Amino acid sequence: MDTKRAVQKEMLARRLEEARGRTRFLLGTVSDEDLAVQHDPIMSPLIWDYGHIGNYEELWLLEKAFGRGLSDRDLYDMYDASLHPREERPSLNLLDRADAGLYLDAVRGAALDALEEADLEGEDPLLRDGFVYNMILQHEYQHNETMLQTLQLSGSRYRPDEPAKLPAGDPAAEGEMVRVPGGPFVMGTDDRALALDNERGAHEVDVPGFHLDKTPVTNRAYLEFVEDGGYENENLWDPKGWAWVQSEGITAPKHWYQPDPHSWWTVCFGFDEPLRMDAPVVHVSWFEADAYARWAGKRLPTEAEWEKAASWDPETGTGRPFPWGHEPWSPNKANLDQLALRPAPVGSHPAGASPCGALGMIGDVWEWTASEFSPYPNFQSFPYKEYSEIFFDDGYKILRGGSWATRPGAVRNTFRNWDFPIRRQLFVGFRCAKS
């Protein structure tokens, strides 16, 4: 084995171990009871996520990549996300914490042994350039964020460690808009080592010039919408959104409440705290974001507008993988990696500015866009249809940019997330655009 490939394999092994360490750290203070219960109908029990992480690794790093596996069919079926909808998962005979831990360790040991013989320069598209290992890493990262969503919904007090300190924000940035010049840019990517299938392929899109909020919409700005009767004005709402607001009795973002008139608080992992006015609004649905934008005389950006603002450098005529450039994430560039347990005040990471001057386009909160989840030109499913293809053109809205709960290896300017427009469990906010 040449030195380059040996170093690559060593790096992949270290990243796999680091990812597993984070998963166990996040679950370490959670009781066995809280692991087993289903905290919300749209979420799995945490113990299912834990076992599923191991089974997905076995499926792809052993069975699919090397034709070998450890488990019988029943275990594969139990952790197959497409076979068992979430409402069925609490009734399954799931592995408990101890047995799941032993299972994950056994899978990992076999996967690391197989990595030693993997041909990362061969013709197999799964193994070439380490694609399948990067896919497995991103899968575990994504389930880490899903687990944090579940823990936020649980209402149980959750603090795995003292939260990381956040920098101060920039009050002057709030409410500003930046100009994104019109013209063509290259959207998406042709990368086949890190990018997932829905990010491919790279294609040119001509986007007219527009203005974009410099920062995500803050709690302060959103509260003006709430107190101006935004949830009572049918004219501001998409008809389906208005029907949802009326049927569910929605009057504010999820987890907001008023102990006294004009005193707004929120619940963050089971802890009650005053609303932080300079932080991005979070836990709002697409319908709420769309209604706010209309109230503000603006609109939500399209997915293409969002990516152009985040990535396109008009001076060089090239795209950046991250708003700040090509170098990897560091804590001064964006609030990522989970340990802060909350969004930072807007404007707090000027080193992470995009070419047009927009701030916070990666990290803090996912951002709703106006666009439906659809395939790019010449899309090809890989390595399985259930990752992206089955969700196309089925009512899902695109989210971009990651959140504070996103691991750095699971987000980039081309990364696409999606969910139904009523969903609020994600760490999601938005920013507005204007033509």
By residue count, the chain amounts to: 435
Q: Annotated binding residue at 128?
A: no
Peptide bond into 201 cis (omega under 30): yes
The DSSP secondary structure of 104-163, one letter per residue, reads: HHHHHHHHHHHHHH--TTSS-TTTGGGHHHHHHHHHHHHHHHHHHHHHHHH-S---SSPP
Please give the Cα distance from 337 to 345 (Å, whole number): 16
Peptide bond into 261 cis (omega under 30): no
Half-sphere exposure of 246 (CA within 13 A, CB side): 10
Q: Annotated binding residue at 139?
A: yes
| Structure tokens that stand for 102 in this block | 């032993």
Strand, helix or coil for residue 53: helix
Please give the Cα distance from 18 to 7 (Å, whole number): 16
CB–CB of 169/335 below 8 Å? Answer: no
Q: Annotated binding residue at 89?
A: yes
Q: Annotated binding residue at 159?
A: no
Please give the Cα distance from 341 to 360 (Å, whole number): 16
Q: What is the pLDDT of residue 2?
A: 79
CB–CB of 216/401 below 8 Å? Answer: no
Please give the Cα distance from 392 to 238 (Å, whole number): 21
Please give the Cα distance from 7 to 421 (Å, whole number): 44
CB–CB of 56/106 below 8 Å? Answer: no
CB–CB of 210/435 below 8 Å? Answer: yes
Q: What is the pLDDT of residue 1?
A: 61
Q: What is the pLDDT of residue 5?
A: 84
Strand, helix or coil for residue 256: strand
Q: What is the pLDDT of residue 234?
A: 98
First to last CA, the chain: 55
Strand, helix or coil for residue 397: strand
Q: Annotated binding residue at 84?
A: no
CB–CB of 299/365 below 8 Å? Answer: no
Q: Annotated binding residue at 179?
A: no
Is 337 buried (19+), middle (13-18) or exposed (0-12) by CB count in 10 A? buried
Q: Annotated binding residue at 419?
A: yes
Task: Enumerate domains of the chain plus CATH numbers.
Answer: 3-154 (1.20.120), 168-435 (3.90.1580.10)
Q: Annotated binding residue at 407?
A: no
| Structure tokens that stand for 176 in this block | 């500003």
Strand, helix or coil for residue 129: helix
Q: pLDDT below 50 — which residues of the chain?
A: none
For residue 59, what is the DSSP state?
I
User: Hey, which residues does 182 pair with through a beta bridge?
Assistant: none
Please give the Cα distance from 195 to 135 (Å, whole number): 8
The owner of tokens 């649905």 is 285
Q: Per-residue pLDDT tens for 210-234?
A: 999 999 999 999 999 999 999 999 9
Q: Annotated binding residue at 400?
A: no
Helix axes 3-27, 131-154, angle to 10 degrees: 10
Distance from CA of residue 343 to its chain's centroid? 13
